[in-house]
Amino acid sequence: MQHNREAFEPAACLWIGASWTKMARRSLLSRSFSLNHYRAYDVRGLFNYNLSCCVNALLQSFSATTELLDILQKWHPPATIGRNNIPLQLKNALCAMRDTSNPASHKNLLDCLYSHNIHRFTQQDADEIFHIILNLSQKQMLDQDLAQEIRSLYDIRMETQLMCSECKYVQRVPSSYFSLPLAIFEGVNTLERCIQSFFQRQNLLDGDMCYCDSCGQKQPSTHELKLVSLPRILCVHLKRFRNVGGLTWKLFSRVTFPETLNMGIFAAEGQSENVVSGSPQADEHYRLYAVIVHIGYAMSGHYIAYIRSTQDQTWYYADDRTVQPVSWSIVQSSYEGTETAYLLLYRKMSRNASGEQ
């Protein structure tokens, strides 16, 4: 992760984070929405404990990932299991969020995360925390079959192919991702273009040359990533934070993203010659259902989430305790600027119908 955690001063975060929160709310309200109470909706608000906005926004996305709770509910851990067990506390927090009568308390989950070196009063990086929660959920899940189900739900499997430009020998290395880490560029980007760039073949020359096992020496090579399989839940990480000379900067560039995304076109373009059984096909459509938004700058800020309800298909704005319905055009306002989409959660749609799997 490129974020410099130490750079986030608690005091600065408190002040600037609160300042940005107010600005964000003012900004939303100025778009002629009435601020309704969270109790009216099926997306549930969350208390902010010790600057927990990052975990709160992620929890909204986990709660909207009904497949995750379905897996966790199949698990019945022994009563002797410790309070510091992440999958247990995640399950409890997600169950509490199903009750929409009050803002949910997820304090036990936060205490559990703190016991695993996630610090209080610190601005966290949402992609990093997303990975920590999923990795610990698998590691601490006593039922290995269910742990594998959690992995499979998010697992993007790829193969790195390094080809020697001299002898054409290809080294293949399997890799696995919970989120697709996309570089973004100055100016205007589209999500599809960023994905295309991720899978683009790169020439490795001069200092970047790779050792070829066949030639027995470093040679000019090409580097390429091929999609092996796509998960039901596809998390896209827009890498807006860049470290330059020890300082972290946020890129405010415009990145448009669609509500419906066809990953099949990238699978077809990047298809390996040795097609693996179950490989992605040309029509792998995904529908957006959660957007984690970072508000502010690299060194301080705030997280909120936009969630598309599975019950009424409406988009909701979730900012800690505050939840209110919003239009798709408001979600699109996170394309650029200081209030920008950072993680995008897409759900695979079935091939034979417009519904989601």
Residues within the interface to Zn ion (CB under 5 A): 164, 166-167, 169, 212, 214-215, 219
Q: How far is CA 162 from CA 54, 170, 211, 255, in A?
A: 37, 6, 10, 30
Longest dimension (CA), the chain: 68
Looking at beta carbons only, is 160 or 281 nearer to Zn ion? 160
d(CA 204, CA 195): 20
> Which residue's Cβ lies closest to Zn ion?
164
Q: SS3 of 159, please? A: strand
Quick one: 164 or 293, whose CB is closer to Zn ion? 164
Which of 169, 198 has the CB closer to Zn ion? 169
Distances (CA, A) of 241 to 54, 120, 181, 207: 15, 21, 12, 26
Cα separation of 320 and 49, whole Å?
10
Q: How far is the CB of 172 from Zn ion (least distance, A)?
A: 14
Rounded Cα gap, residues 141 and 159, in angstroms:
27
Q: How far is the CB of 201 from Zn ion (least distance, A)?
A: 17
Q: Are 87 and 137 in contact (CB under 8 A)?
A: yes
Least CB distance to Zn ion at residue 211 (A): 9
Q: How far is the CB of 173 from Zn ion (least distance, A)?
A: 16
Nearer to Zn ion, 209 or 330 (CB): 209
Angle between helices 86-97 and 126-139 (to 10 degrees): 110
Is the CB of 145 or the CB of 166 nearer to Zn ion? Answer: 166
Q: With the C-alpha atoms ordered 309, 310, 311, 314, is the resulting torsion angle positive or negative?
A: positive
Exposed/middle/buried for residue 168 (C-beta within 10 Å: 0-12, 13-18, 19+): exposed
- The least distance separating Zn ion from the CB of residue 208, rounded to whole angstroms, comes to 15
Cβ 245 to Zn ion shortest distance, Å: 36
Residue among 193 and 218 whose Cβ is closer to Zn ion: 218
Q: How far is the CB of 222 from Zn ion (least distance, A)?
A: 12
Which residues are within 8 A (CB) of 140 and not within 5 positions of it... i.e. 6 or more apart?
Answer: 85, 86, 87, 88
Residue with smaller CB distance to Zn ion, 120 or 168: 168
